Amino acid sequence: MKVLEIKNLSKNYGNIKAVNDLSLSIEKGCVFGILGPNGSGKTTTLGMILGIIKKDAGDYKWFGDSSNKNHRKKIGAILETPNFYPYMNAENNLKIISQIKGTGNQDYESILKRVNLWDRRSSKFRSYSLGMKQRLAIGATLVGNPEVVIFDEPTNGLDPQGIAEIRNILTSIADEGKTVIMASHILDEVEKVCSHVAIIKNGNLLATGAIGSFAKNKFIEINSTNRSNLKEDLNNMEGVTIIKEQNAFIQCEVSDTYNIEDFSRYLTSKNHVITHLLMQKRSLEEEFLEIVK
């Protein structure tokens, strides 16, 4: 089932095309990353599908229904920054959210414990650190147990410990089977958390699909006791291209379907004793750089 369908969505700010004819669809249960450099149109896109930025053209459908005005009540979302009433404490801020969503009183204790703020529940929001604010924002998306949660740069500006904390929470939310949509400019983050990704640059959708699906090739790092012949033997192998040579190993590129067993057997038959063998898929970072080139 499609949770969200975007068709030809566009938004201009003067002459600048912030979002240009963007179409994508997001299936229920996937963890969908929207990846792009700063200013690529991620937040504008999320703003449009959340009803706060007016679209110039195109359309979007939540839950297969474009006419329902209450669909946002089934979505937990934060955009850019955590937005709360600074003079209110965490619990009262969450109460406002459940009041808007019409969900009645919630189990605020389990939400606040989950984002590690239960001890600070009665402190005013304005006294929180950036990390705590971000965690409260993530907690707020869980109020009313919505089917879909949306995060926009959830780890922006946090220290490594804060980033790790947020990622753990995000992963646990994804593991519950909720549909998660996350915008980020950090490749590593998207790669660690998401199952699917859309890559955006200058408002244009460059690629979309499951993580790893862009990768046509794998990398093999290899070293043997007979280094002098190794390079020659690799050059003679079909479907293997040497990319770089280092002291510790030679890196080669092979096709996605390449059989590593044949590779190993062939080298053994050439009297190589393998001292280093590592097979890697191309990382998202490399894919990303390849795509946005």
Rounded Cα distance between 92 and 125, Å, is 10
87 belongs to the binding site for other proteins (CB under 8 A): yes
DSSP state for residue 112 in the 8-state scheme: H
By CB under 8 A, the count of residues binding other proteins is 29
Q: Are 262 and 189 in contact (CB under 8 A)?
A: no
| Identity at 265, one-letter amino acid code | R
Using the rule CB under 8 A, is 69 a contact of other proteins? yes
**Residue 260 binds to other proteins (criterion: CB under 8 A):** no
> Measured between alpha carbons, how far is residue 204 from residues 22, 39, 57, 186, 195 in Å?
6, 12, 14, 18, 21
92 lies in the site for other proteins, by CB under 8 A: yes
Residue 36 vs 47, nearer CB to other proteins? 47
Three-state DSSP class for 233? Answer: helix
Q: How far is the CB of 72 from other proteins (least distance, A)?
A: 4
Residue 293 as a binder of other proteins (CB under 8 A): the answer is: no
Q: Does 81 interact with other proteins (rule: CB under 8 A)? A: yes
Of the two residues 73 and 114, which places its CB atom closer to other proteins in the complex? 73
- Residue 108 touching other proteins (CB under 8 A): no
Instruction: Tell me whether residue 134 or residue 223 sits nearer to other proteins (CB atom).
Output: 134
Other Cβ atoms within 10 Å of 175 Cβ, number: 9
Question: What distance in Å separates the CA atoms of residue 170 and residue 142, rounded to the nearest whole number?
Answer: 11
The span from the CA of 234 to the CA of 238, in Å, is: 8
- Chain residues 23-62 in contact with other proteins, contact rule CB under 8 A: 47, 50-54
Q: Token pair for residue 151?
A: 């995060």
Residues 6+ apart with CB under 8 A from 95: 105, 108
Nearer CB in complex with other proteins: 15/228: 15
Shortest distance (Å) from residue 14 CB to other proteins: 13
Shortest distance, position 154 Cβ to other proteins, whole Å: 15
Place of tokens 């959708």: 205
The residue within the footprint of other proteins, chosen from 79, 142, 181, 182 (CB under 8 A), is: 79
Residues near other proteins (CB under 8 A): 47, 50-54, 69-70, 72-73, 75, 77-79, 81, 83-88, 92, 95-97, 99-102
